[in-house]
Amino acid sequence: MKFLNALPFLILLPDLGSAAKCGQWFTSDCICDADIRYCTEGENGASDNILDQHPLWNHIQGFYKFEAYKFAFGLNLGTNMFATDNPHIGYLNHTIIGSRDYQHRYDILPPLDPEKCGAPIFDPFINSLPDFVCGETGVLFVFEGFALSTNERDGSLTTTPSLVALRSSDGDGAYLIGDEDNADYKMVPVDENTLQGSVNSDRFLVTETFVFTNEDRTEAGSMQDVYAKVGDQSILVQSTRFKFTKIDEESFITGLAADLEANNIVPSIRPDAVPMGRSCLNKDCPTEEDFCQLDPKCTVSKYLEPDATVKAGPIVGIVCAAFVVLLAVLYLVHRRAMEKQKERLKNMFAKHVVQSLKIGIGASGDFFSMEALQEEFKHIDVGEEGGDGVISKAELRAFMTSGKMGKVTDSDFDTLFGIIDSDGSGEVDFIEFATFMGEIKDNIQAFGDDEEVVPSFVENKEPEIKDDTEAFEDHNKIHEG
């Protein structure tokens, strides 16, 4: 019965399954299985580390020396005073740590030709340098950028305006894009050799393409264009072409120091230390709060695995299985109850037969002889239509209510009559009676020795008299009882 009480809970299992783990045989598939954006870190190969997301980043990180050709306002040379001295040289340090990308670029512009020093210098940065001497000292421009992996986990990087510095030669960083510009910044690997980047804001559009040009990926070319947005038009205000050569860290440090000296860079803007990794030249480097605006390692992803739901098939299967089990249990319980009722009714009828006193119950088995059974049959067949060779329901009820065995309920009587009346005719013939008597033979024999069932004056059950005194005492006890 405890099992029956638990069955309703089994049937309700599909409803409880809505909060179950996805990917089970009875629940919906995990989105993570097909889309790593929905996976937790480390699950199904998902990683927020940049180097794990695309092979290009493993090739591109490192140290470079470059030559750069700069053009201003279209592809015109000579418009900007420093653009005439092409090419200029520089160094690039590209470092990737976990989910963060750090880039530091040093553009070294040599001293201007003294013959051109008569022209006005319109660059406010250069004009602000107290130790700049036209024709004698060179200028260093430092570009710093910081980017982060994204929840897309496709190898693309993004950033915020607070992480994109245009220039920080004097330690104060000038920003190409401000917070008010609503900038959209992205770097996307195209393949293992090509990177495409862009910054699109309300005022500027910057595009850049970086491509490895040899099989060893030690040589690369890059094109960077800066457009100013004027109304619905974009005007190319600066274009730069780079040729990169990969070098080791020691060559990077010593080469940068040597070229700063060789080009007599203004002392006040020379870096005290070359930033490697996370450091920067700005007085106010990006803070952890700045990084955590976008860093997937410290933000909540918009791609969250939804709660699993139970599949329709398993729901039907579980319900059907529970229903089948319930029916089977109910059937077994009903069958057991019927068997108990049948056995009880057999005992009840056997007691009435034993009490009928029309036949003897002895060890010889004469009780079950044909003559004895016929005599018992006639004993019951005594109704208004007695002697007609069949036992009616009224005759059997009269027999069952006789004696001292108590009343029989209508339900018990109807069930008993149905057991004996095997063909359902509504009457019990001798064959049906004899067959049933054979079924309850053991019951009758069991009650034949029960003094509570068999009256003590049955002839064949008198106690054996050992002597006159014992017989006399027993006789008195019988009649007193």
- The verdict on domain 31-291 having CATH code 2.40.128.20 is yes
pLDDT of 284 reads 67
CA-based nearest residue to 348, from 218, 429, 282, 436: 436
pTM for the model: 0.63
Mean pLDDT of the region 396-416: 79
Q: Which CATH superfamily is domain 318-480 in?
A: EF-hand (1.10.238.10)
Closest of 297, 48, 294 to residue 183, by C-alpha: 294
Take residue 464 and report the two structure tokens written for it. 């054996």
pLDDT score for 149: 95
Q: Is 91 a residue whose pLDDT tops 80?
A: yes
Do residues 56 and 191 lie in contact, with contact meaning Cβ atoms separated by under 8 Å? yes
Q: What is the pLDDT of residue 6?
A: 47
Buried b / exposed e across 152-168, counting CB within 10 Å, b at 16+? bbebbbbbbbbbbbbbb
Residue with the two structure tokens 């049948």: 342
Report the alpha-carbon distance of residue 173 to residue 95 in Å, rounded: 20
Please name the amino acid found at residue 331: Y
Q: What is the DSSP letter of 138?
A: B
How far are the Cα atoms of 112, 184, 280, 311 from residue 316, in angstroms, in the given order? 84, 50, 63, 9
SS3 percent helix, strand, coil of the chain, rounded to 5, is 40, 20, 40
Q: Which of 164-178, 445-459, 466-480 has the lowest mean pLDDT?
A: 466-480
Q: How much is the mean pLDDT over the chain? A: 78
| DSSP β-bridge partners for residue 91 | 65, 106
Q: What is the pLDDT of residue 161?
A: 65
Say if residue 1 is exposed, middle or buried (CB neighbours under 10 Å; 0-12, 13-18, 19+).
exposed
Q: Which of the pair, 238 or 61, is modelled with greater confidence?
A: 61
Rg of the chain on CA atoms, in Å? 53
- Residue 200 three-state SS: strand
Distance CA 95, CA 90 (A): 17
Q: Give the model's pLDDT for residue 434.
A: 86
Confidence of residue 157 (pLDDT cuts 50, 70, 90): very high
Averaged pLDDT, 445-467: 51
Show me where the domains of the chain are located.
2-28, 31-291, 318-480
Number of neighbours of residue 471 by Cβ within 10 angstroms: 14
Residue 97: pLDDT over 90: yes
The pLDDT, as a whole number, for residue 237 is: 87
Range of lowest pLDDT (104-118, 221-235, 247-261): 104-118
CB atoms within 10 A of CB 329: 14
**Sign (positive/negative) of CA torsion 367, 368, 372, 378?**
positive
Asked if domains 31-291 and 318-480 share a fold, the reply is no
